[in-house]
Amino acid sequence: MTDRFQRSPAALALLAFAQLIIAVDYDIVYVALPEISDAPGFSAQTPQWVVSAYAVAFGGFLLLGGRHNDKTEQPVMRGR
């Protein structure tokens, strides 16, 4: 086997951990929603706006991070 296939369990564990962190992050937002919606001046639609704004901001930072990585990483020869 090549090194690429031998590193797969570590890469899988890293991806699983990253997904866990994202899930916990969204859970924190959902736990804070009742307090946010009870604040004066907020309507019934405010919790949905909070979740949507958080998702858009999170996705935007993921795109920026991916773009930055594409620009700064060393080119890799694939298929050889």
The predicted pLDDT at position 24 comes to 93
Q: What is the pLDDT of residue 16?
A: 93
Q: Tens digits of per-residue pLDDT, 27-80?
A: 998 898 888 888 888 888 888 888 899 999 999 999 999 899 888 887 665 655
Of 2 and 44, more confident: 44
Whether the predicted model's global pTM rises above the 0.85 cut = no
Helices marked H in the chain: 3-6, 8-38, 46-72
Residue 38: what residue type? D
Distances (CA, A) of 63 to 12, 60, 69: 21, 5, 10
